[in-house]
Structure formats: C-alpha cells, structure tokens
Structure 1
Amino acid sequence: MSRQTDADEQKRARLAAALRENLKRRKAQARARRSTGAVAEDETTPAQADPDRS
C-alpha cells in the first residue's frame, strides 16, 4: 500500500514540475509577444490592425 502512495507522490511531483515549466514557458511567450506586439502596433494603423472595425 505504501508503494502506491509513493507512486502517487512521484506522479504528483512530476505533474507539479511539468506545470511549473509550462507556466514559465507561457510567461516567456507572453513577454515575447508583448515586446514584439508593441512594435507591431506602432507600425500599423487602427484600420490595418482590425479590418472588421470601420
């Protein structure tokens, strides 16, 4: 029974580590988009940025 508990704990630890890495990656992607997005917004007019808006 303790073996199952150890397996569960290891699984939880792996999941927690994977979630932390995923969060780090997503934050880095968001920072990259924000820094490149600011440049892209400066280069486009509002009509170019959203063609559906008039």
Structure 2
Amino acid sequence: MQKHRRKILILLALLALGGIAWATGLNRAGDCLLQGGRWNWDGGFCRLDRPAP
C-alpha cells in the first residue's frame, strides 16, 4: 500500500510542476531555446538570432 501512495504523490508532484511550468511560459521558452533563439521574458516572444531554414 505504501508504494501506491508514493507513486500517487510523485505523479501529483509532477503534474503540479508541469502546471507551474505551463503557466509561466517555460514550454514556449524551451521551444525558443531549442530553435537557437533567446526568449524575451518582458515581451513574451522569441528573438531568433538567424532565420529558420
């Protein structure tokens, strides 16, 4: 029974962290960084250093 409770708590913690990341825009910032750009936190947009191919 203890293992099931631990799994549920870990799942809830991951869901909470994912919700916080989504609410703060970390998913868009991560996409921007993967494309080679810089995320502008003040304006909420991605500044690409070079055009996409």
Scaled by the length of structure 2, the TM-score of the pair is 0.53
Structure 2 regions of 5+ residues with no counterpart?
Answer: 30-42
Structure 2 CA distance for aligned equivalents of residues 45 and 37 of structure 1: 11
In terms of fraction of residues, the more strand-rich structure is 2
1:43 Cα deviation after fit: 1.2
Higher helix proportion (structure 1 or 2): 1
Larger Rg: 1
Runs of 4+ in 1 over 4 A off after TM superposition: none
Percent identity of the aligned residues? Answer: 11
The answer to which structure, 1 or 2, has the higher relative contact order (CA under 8 A, 6+ apart) is: 2
Figure out how many residues of one structure are paired with residues of the other and give that number: 38
TM-score normalised according to structure 1 size: 0.53
